[in-house]
Amino acid sequence: MALIIHQFLNKRKKLLEISLMMFAIREKMKTRWFGQGQVTD
């Protein structure tokens, strides 16, 4: 039983890490685009 819960938590942790990484990449892209927009103005 404890093993199942442990695996479940590990999966959730991995999903959380992936979503955090995706969010960080998206934010980085946004700032890069905004930066380019300011430079071209």
- 3 state SS for 1-41: CHHHHHHHHHHHHHHHHHHHHHHHHHHHHHHHHHHHHHHHC
pLDDT confidence of residue 31: 79
Q: Which of 38, 20, 17, 39 is nearest to 28 (CA)?
A: 20
The span from the CA of 30 to the CA of 35, in Å, is 8
pTM: 0.56
Residue 38 lies in a domain: no
Query: By residue range, what is the domain housing residue 25?
Result: 1-30
Residue 40 lies in a domain: no
Q: What is the pLDDT of residues 1-41, one digit of tens each?
A: 789 999 999 999 999 999 999 999 998 888 776 666 655 54
Report which residue type is found at 15.
Answer: L
Residue 35 lies in a domain: no
pLDDT confidence of residue 35: 64
Number of domains in the chain: 1
Residue 21 lies in a domain: yes
pLDDT confidence of residue 18: 96
Length of the chain: 41
Residue 19 lies in a domain: yes
